[in-house]
Structure 1
Amino acid sequence: MITSGSSNMPGTSLCFFKIILKDVGSHTELMIPEKVLRVLGEDLKDSVSLNAPSGSQWLVNLKRHEGKVWLQNGWPEFANFYSIGFGYLLVFEYKGDAKFQVLIFHPSSLEIDYPLAASDRPSTSENERVIDSSSSGDVFRPYNSTEASTKLRQEKAKDQVNKDRALSLEKSFKSKNPFFVHLMKESHIVGGGWPNVYIPKNFKEAHNNWKDKDQVILQVEGESWVVYCNLNQQCNQCRISRGWTIFARDNSLGVGDVCLFELINRSKKLFQVFIYRAAKGPEFENLPRVRSKADKARVLESVNAFEPEQPHFSVEVKNSYLYGGSITVPVQFVHKHITKDNCDVILQLPDGRVWSVKCYIKEKCAKFSAGWKNFSKENNLAAGDFCGFELVNQRLLKVVIFRLKS
């Protein structure tokens, strides 16, 4: 579904807008408002040119049927290049000769930074400049065609790698349960306006059996989040909306991550969610260690033998504890031995090194948060490791790390 409007006031150029209410796929079309067609008449032939403020020009073919006209071939490529998705607003201004100037606004209401298409970069002198639209003022920067071209190729190559990775995962995953895979785009994550995830139409369980506002449970490594589906029968669309923002934030989802949703309980609408992270730098390199049964048994034996004289507890490190920047700890232990309010806690390794973390308490949950990410990164923690915490005093915990072999 796409919301649109138009303006053709005397003395002004013809403009219309479109609000994108679904992700743009390879076969998506964009309808031109009928009022616009009545004004333009014969100006629109078989194709139009979409011109971005950066100077890029895109030739898009038109599809006609029963008096209506759609942007067809070339439109998905345009939308994909500018990462247009759910919640984006596009303003089209007609410039004559079947040419439209297109302004693109992010769901946050800010106009996007327009990347430069390689085919539209003429050779320029060193003192030629372009406006940086990311600032509210008239800020200028030197135009560097080589640097921009290299960056564009890198971004497109990275995007293709992520798409190939998602497709490969979908083909290789074997389960008797129904499942679907989503490559995270900006519209799916926190900061993308109204984050949500559309459930593919071939996932029949949702489209045939679910009702609007049904409760759905998403489970990651034993922790659960409640979300709600939004069902639009007219458009044959089903998406996870309310509650998704919290899930995405708590699991630190980012653009390029791949989520696999496996329905493990139909009656409860319970999904096991597997998160496969995109490569984002050294802080995302702590992948799960290879677990042999013998090695895992060795680690568990060491953890079970962890019995210091002072009060203590042990926690298995999960992926969400590495990427999310916090670790869940026993709330009963925190209430009894540390605090019933938020406070700072010192973590100390046997070699004497210390880290400060923030202990947060909310209802029946306690977490070590701010500072935990530095601790996990600097000590090279990985999913499958265990941390044993021994109380030294009210604000000091000694930490022993039990590692799986790489």
Structure 2
Amino acid sequence: MAPDQDYDQDNSHVDDTQKYFFKCMVGDFPEKMAIPQKFVDNFNGHISEVIKLEAPDGNIYNIQAIRDLNKIVLGSGWGVFVSFYKLKAGYFLVFRYIRDSHFKVLIFDFGTCCEKEVFHVLMNCGPDSQEKESNSESHRRCELCDVHFYWHHLDDRQKHFLRLMVGDFRQEMSIPQKFVNNFRGRISEVMKLEAPDGNIYNFKVTKDLNKIVLRYGWAAFASDYQLKEHDLLVFRYIGDSHFKVLIFDPSGCEKQLFNIVLNHAPNVPKTCISHDRSFLRETRRRDCGSHDNNSRKTKKMTPVDSPSPRSEGVTSPEVTMNSAGLREITEPHYVLATGCNLTTAQKAEVDALVKKVRPVIPFYITAMNKTSMSGSLVICKDYAAKYLPHEEQFITLCHPHKSNIWVDNLKVITDGSCMLSVGWSCFVLHNELRESDICLFEVSKNDGEVTMVVHSLEGGHHLQGKEPESQNKCSYPVKVEVTEEEESDKEHAESSYYYSRYAYDLTGEEQEEIFRSALIQQGNPVYVAVLQENHVSSRNNLLTFPREFAAKHLAERSHDILLLRPNRREKWCVRYYYHSMMRIQGFSYRSWTKFVSDNGLQEGHVCVFELMKGVCEATMMVHVFRKFNGRFVLLD
């Protein structure tokens, strides 16, 4: 059955009042907001022409719902809501349907991953108030009062935080620092996390430099619920170190996990997906009495418990007849990861390579996907347990036809599988691997040291073994533009300069002052941004690029961009994140934080990002200005 069919069937059984969706505030969000199409298509109830939007402070706004080509867009009244709660680009809003076209909304600041404190208005205005005038003196917001009330008077069981799955999210997850610093309750050494299907997981909490990190047990949770990059998790505290979590995919809708609970015959206990983990999940829906003994003895995954990308299978050993006519069990020549299906031509090439190499340890074969392309590759626990080290250690990656080597730290995950990360990212980049390529890992051991020679089959089903045709071939993706020679300089300049919302407030004189000092090379696209708090914060920062700039000048996928500063020798390799469904494209997380720190960037600084044309690597020259005595000064 197709995934969408699963979604429709699962979603039709869920009460509308248990349905949620989220939206990230990007683009023209101050004027309008579209409800996710997936939510609209699968919503059982009726959304009228006017919906009620209930803010966290209890205020209710009437907002016009406009239907446009099967889409539902919030129009008249939405701008008032945005203005009153001072919504900013990068904020996340989580909506829960109540009844009769009535939604409750939570507002999260992406910079802190905590809720925006908006509770003071409720205290001043009373619960019966329906419409609020944002310019009314009696309703004027006091942000300090909001913050104090939220953290010091609001019941902890009404508090939420969120986490966007990026980076090494499969191995660990940290609780937002702001939540930790202000939380009045106590988080014990073991934290309980209740998934949407009712299963409860125990996590061992570790404190790392005043941060609270979930490590032991988190990998099992991430694997069981198949968490992927850019999934969004929203956590609600319910007491005694116990949190409930909602899991959203990038479409803005919840992941459909209810089949884990619903698709079981009556009186049949639910099967536990986790195997051999020190922190096994509990469940409120299962009685651990004697009637469950049989299910424990035959712990198998049911068809509805679809395996995660880590639940990969090993090819069975081959059974042969020896010279005496007795059956002999031999090791398999290779192990296929689940989901890696070889064509007849590919299998022939693999067999030929096996015959040529005669590996002592079976090949591990997997297909490149978005996860392994973006920086991490997981090797299934069955293969890892038998052929790879059981403790973390550095290993060497090689290409069969190149002299280069890449060193990586082979990480051992809680569930027994292994993961390649940083060194693997460099290998993927330098060897120009692509999504759907087939990789064969030839593992060898010598005095405890592990080497992996990585053979690859590209889309045309040919073994990659040749050097790139040109040493000048670009390693980083940049869109190459063909411009008309007769195009005027004025037209080119107007089409190549882009501004953030706050940069539009720069006067003509200020812009002239900036560009006179920056000395932009003719023909290079430019993005001008006035830095805000969420751009330069030490954690969970996000600097977005205009969609038009990204669509015209950058590749439509996540990749690295080299940042340079004028008159400086240092270089910074910063990760550019691209997500089409969430309409986010920009710099974020550790690499951007390092650039901000190394260059002393502060709120109010003006950054001019000049995309260099005619170079192989995606490169930007960053000109930084600050205002001094009423004039913009170029910083070294």
- TM-score, L = length of structure 2: 0.33
Structure having greater relative contact order (Cα 8 Å, sep ≥ 6) = 1
- TM-score, L = length of structure 1: 0.48
Pair member with larger Rg: 2
